[in-house]
Amino acid sequence: MITKLLIANRGEIACRIMRTARSMGVATVAVYSDADAKALHVRQADESVHIGPSPAAESYLVGAKIIAAAKQTGADAIHPGYGFLSENADFAQAVLDAGLIWVGPKPASIRAMGLKDAAKQLMRAAGVPVTPGYDGSDQSVERLTKEAEAIGYPVLIKAVAGGGGKGMRKVDAPADFASALESCRREAKASFGNDEVLLEKWITSPRHIEVQVFGDSHGNVVHLFERDCSLQRRHQKVIEEAPAPGMDEATREAICAAAVRAAKAVDYEGAGTIEFIADASEGLRADRIFFMEMNTRLQVEHPVTEEITGVDLVEWQLRVASWEPLPKRQEELSINGHAIEARLYAEDPAKGFLPSPGRVDRLVFDYRARVESSVEEGDLVSNFYDPMIAKVICHGADREAARTDLVRWLDNSYVGPLKTNKAFLHACLSLPTFIEELLDTGLIEREEAKLTTVREPSARVLKAAGERFREAWLDQDWDSRAYRNGLFGFRMNAPARTTIGLHIDGQRYAVDASSDDLRTGLCSDRERDGTIVVTEAGKSYFFSPSPEAAKSQASAADGAIIAPMPGKVIAVDVNEGQTVTAGQRLMVLEAMKMEHALTAPFDGVIEGLTVSAGAQVQVEALLVTVVPAGE
C-alpha cells in the first residue's frame, strides 16, 4: 500500500483526496503556488512544498517541479486529481520513470483516448456505438465541406484534442461552414496546439450521459452505473446527477456494457469515465446513445456516483495503484437512491458569469448536504484559478428528495461579499422542465435570461430583515451602535409601524421593524458587524446598517478600500508597491472615538495609496487599492 501521497493539484479536489488518504493511514503532501500559500489544501496536508509563482503554467503545470517535490518529501506516489496534468501521458510516464507510483491509468491508455478522432476509431472497432460523422485524416477544406454535406446539416465541428467546449461549433447551413471551420481551427490551435477537427451529426435533443468505469492491473473492469450531466452552459457542466432520469434497465445495461468494452479496449486501470451523447427526442434508447470521448481521470462529479453506490472512488484509486484487485465485483454493485450535485462558483451570472475573485468574509454552509470545498471564512478565491467555492451533493431516496434537499441547502447557505451563482443554481433546480425530467444540453441556454435575472429584495425579504433587526436590537448581544446611522428615528415603543433604513451596495431599503410577529419562513442571519443576511430562492441579500458600510463591503471584493465613514487616518502600515496578504492591516481610521482597522481583502500589491497618517477623510473616499498579484 502507498505510504505517502503527493497530490499534484489544489483546491477542493486536493482536500477531497486528502480526506480519504488520511482515513487509510496514508500521509499526504501538498504542493502550492504563491497564490495558494495559505490555502486550505496546504493547511490540511501533513507536509507542503512551494512549487513556484501563481500562474499555473509556472507551478502546477510544471511536472519536473512536482516530481522533485515528491522526491524531496519521500512520497512514493503522485495523485494528479483532475485538470492540470491529470490526463498528460508524458507526465504520467515521467512519474513512473522516476520510480514513483502513478495513481491513474497507464500512459498508453491516456494516449489512446487523448485524441477524439483516434478514440472514435478505436471505439468503433471495439463495437461501441459512435456518433455518425467524419474523423478521417484528410483535413482539407474541400473534404470537410463535402463530408458535412453528406452528414446533413446541422453538423458539429469539434477539435480532436482538448475539451471544455473549445474548438467546437454548431453549423446550421452550408454558407456558414467555412467561417466556422476557420474559427474552430484557430481556437483549437491556440488552446491545444492542434488544429485538426472531426465532424459529427448534430443531435437535436442531446443529453450528456456518462458511465463511471474502473479497472485494475489484474484484468478486471466494472462500471458503477451512469450519470446525467445534461444541464450545461457553454459545454461546461452546472448540475450533475446519478442515476440518469428516465433510464430504463435495458438501456442502462446496454450503455454500461458498451462503457466496459471501451475501457477494456485500452487495457484500462483506475478510474475513468466514458462519455456518451444521447438523442433523447423519443426518450433514452440504447440505439440512440453514441460514444463521445473518454476522460482518463477522476471526474469533478464523481461524488454523485459515490453517494448512490456507497463506494469511495479515491480509496479504490489508491488500492488499484497499489496493485490490489478491485474491492467489488460487478454483481456486488447496485444503485441506492438518487444524488444531485451543484457547482457553486464565485461568479456573477448577471454579468455574463464573470469570475468574482476576492476574500470570503462571510460563509455559512447548511448541514444537510455533502460539501466538497477548499474555502473557509477569511480565505481568498484567487483570480489565477477556477473560481469554484464548493461542490454540493444531496442524496435522497429518489430524485425529488435529492432535489428538494439541494434547493433547501441553497436557501440556508450564503457566501459574501463575493458574487456567486447560488441563485442561478436554485433557479435551474426549480425549472419545471428540470423537475419533470425534460432535460437536454440546451436547456440553460434557452432559459438563461430567466435564470440570470437580478431580483430586487421582495416584501418578504424586507420583512425578514426587519424581524432580524428587531431581534438583534432586543438581544443587545452585539455592538448595536453599528446600526445608528440607519435608524432614521426608530423607537422601540412606537405605537404604529416602525420603519428603518437598511442598505445593499449603498441603496436604501425601507424595512418594517414593527412588533407584530408575522414570520416569513425565510432563512436569515445577523453578523457581529451589524450585517443582516436574508435568502430567498437561493439569492442572499446582505443588508448593512449604513450606505457607507454597504459600499465598503461591495468595494472590498474589487480591492478598492473606501472610507466607511468620515474620520482621521491615525496609522498607515503599507507603502506604494508593497505586497500584502489577505487580512493584513493596511491602515487605521479613527471615527466616533473608535478605531477601525482596514484590511486587505486578498493577497495583492498596494496601488494608489492616497493618504498618510493624520489625514482627515470623508465618507466613501478611496484610500488605497489592492491589486491581485500578477495583474
Cis before 417 (ω within 30): yes
Q: According to DSSP H, which parts of 497-538 are helical?
A: none
* Residue pLDDT, tens place only, 188-204: 888 788 999 999 988 88
* Residue pLDDT, tens place only, 70-86: 999 999 999 999 989 99
Parent domain of 223: 110-130+205-336
pLDDT at 138 over 60: yes
CATH of residue 126's domain is: 3.30.470.20
What is the sign, positive or negative, of the torsion defined by CA atoms of 437, 441, 447, 452?
positive
| CA separation for the pair 344, 363 (Å, rounded) | 12
Cβ distance 133 to 124 under 8 Å? no
pLDDT of residue 491: 44
pLDDT of residue 68: 98
Stretch 370-389: mean pLDDT, rounded?
A: 91
| CA separation for the pair 544, 472 (Å, rounded) | 13
User: If you write DSSP's letter for every residue of 282-311 in order, what string do you get?
Assistant: TB--GGGEEEEEEE-S--TTHHHHHHHH--
pLDDT at 397 over 80: yes
In 3D space, the residue among 26, 72, 17 whose CA is nearest the CA of residue 49 turns out to be: 72
Residues 432, 576: one domain?
Answer: no
Residues 240, 282: one domain?
Answer: yes
Is 553 a member of any domain?
no
Cβ distance 255 to 94 under 8 Å? no
Q: Which residues, at least 6 apart from 623, have a Cβ–Cβ distance to it below 8 Å? A: 561, 562, 563, 569, 586, 587, 598, 609, 610, 611, 617
Cβ distance 297 to 86 under 8 Å? yes
Between these two residues, 367 and 247, which has the higher pLDDT value? 247
Q: What share of the chain is helix, strand, coil (3-state, %, to 5)?
A: 30, 30, 40
Is 11 a member of any domain?
yes
pLDDT at 164 over 70: no
CATH of residue 183's domain is: 3.30.1490.20
pLDDT of residue 531: 84
In 3D space, the residue among 268, 244, 358 whose CA is nearest the CA of residue 317 turns out to be: 268
If residue 517 lies in a helix (H) or strand (E), which one and from where to where?
none
Q: Which of 309-313, 378-382, 506-510 has the highest mean pLDDT?
A: 309-313
Residues 118, 140: one domain?
Answer: no
Structure-block grid coordinates of residue 344:
457553486
In 3D space, the residue among 623, 509, 510 whose CA is nearest the CA of residue 566 turns out to be: 623
Out of 222-226, 362-366, 591-595, least confident range = 591-595
If one counts every other C-beta atom within 10 angstroms of the C-beta of residue 149, the result is: 12
Angle between helix axes 313-321 and 11-23 (nearest 10 degrees) is: 70
User: 223: pLDDT confidence band, cut at 50, 70 and 90?
Assistant: very high
Choose one of 430, 453, 476: the last residue of a domain: 453
Residues 122, 212: one domain?
Answer: yes
Burial (0-12, 13-18, 19+ Cβ within 10 Å), 401? middle
Structure-block grid coordinates of residue 105:
491509468
pLDDT of residue 494: 43
Cβ distance 413 to 38 under 8 Å? no
**Strand partners for 133:** 200
pLDDT at 564 over 90: no
Is 220 a member of any domain?
yes
pLDDT at 480 over 50: no
Rg of the Cα atoms in the chain:
27
pLDDT at 490 over 90: no
pLDDT of residue 496: 44
Residues 268, 124: one domain?
Answer: yes
Stretch 350-365: mean pLDDT, rounded?
A: 87
Residues 233, 114: one domain?
Answer: yes
CATH of residue 613's domain is: 2.40.50.100
Q: Kindly state the DSSP code that residue 368 receives in the 8-state scheme.
A: S
Cβ distance 118 to 130 under 8 Å? no
If one counts every other C-beta atom within 10 angstroms of the C-beta of residue 442, the result is: 14
| CA separation for the pair 519, 50 (Å, rounded) | 52
Out of 127-141, 210-224, 559-573, 582-596, least confident range = 582-596
Q: What are phi and psi of 555, to 5 degrees?
A: -75, -25
Residue by residue, what is the 3-state secondary structure of 139-150? Answer: CCHHHHHHHHHH
Choose one of 301, 317, 336: the last residue of a domain: 336
Choose one of 201, 225, 251: the last residue of a domain: 201
Residues 311, 211: one domain?
Answer: yes
Any catalytic annotation for residue 297? yes
Residues 492, 602: one domain?
Answer: no
Residues 216, 316: one domain?
Answer: yes
Stretch 277-297: mean pLDDT, rounded?
A: 91
Residues 304, 252: one domain?
Answer: yes
User: If you write DSSP's letter for every residue of 553-583 in order, what string do you get?
Assistant: HHHHTTTEEE-SSSEEEEEE---TT-EE-TT
Stretch 1-21: mean pLDDT, rounded?
A: 97
pLDDT of residue 167: 85
Stretch 332-359: mean pLDDT, rounded?
A: 92
Stretch 284-290: mean pLDDT, rounded?
A: 92
User: 45: pLDDT confidence band, cut at 50, 70 and 90?
Assistant: very high
Stretch 254-273: mean pLDDT, rounded?
A: 96
CATH of residue 31's domain is: 3.40.50.20
pLDDT at 174 over 90: yes
Is 266 a member of any domain?
yes
Between these two residues, 564 and 40, which has the higher pLDDT value? 40
Stretch 454-481: mean pLDDT, rounded?
A: 75
pLDDT of residue 489: 40
Cβ distance 203 to 158 under 8 Å? no
Average pLDDT over the chain reads 88
pLDDT of residue 165: 73
Is 554 a member of any domain?
no
| CA separation for the pair 560, 574 (Å, rounded) | 15
Residues 211, 233: one domain?
Answer: yes
* Residue pLDDT, tens place only, 301-331: 999 999 999 999 999 999 999 999 999 999 9
Stretch 112-131: mean pLDDT, rounded?
A: 87
Residues 303, 177: one domain?
Answer: no
Cβ distance 197 to 181 under 8 Å? yes
Which one is catalytic: 185, 297, 319, 526? 297
Between these two residues, 569 and 563, which has the higher pLDDT value? 569
pLDDT at 255 over 80: yes
pLDDT at 66 over 50: yes
Cβ distance 266 to 109 under 8 Å? yes
* Overall number of domains in the chain: 6
Residue whose cell numbers read 455574463: 352
pLDDT at 559 over 90: no
Is 157 a member of any domain?
yes
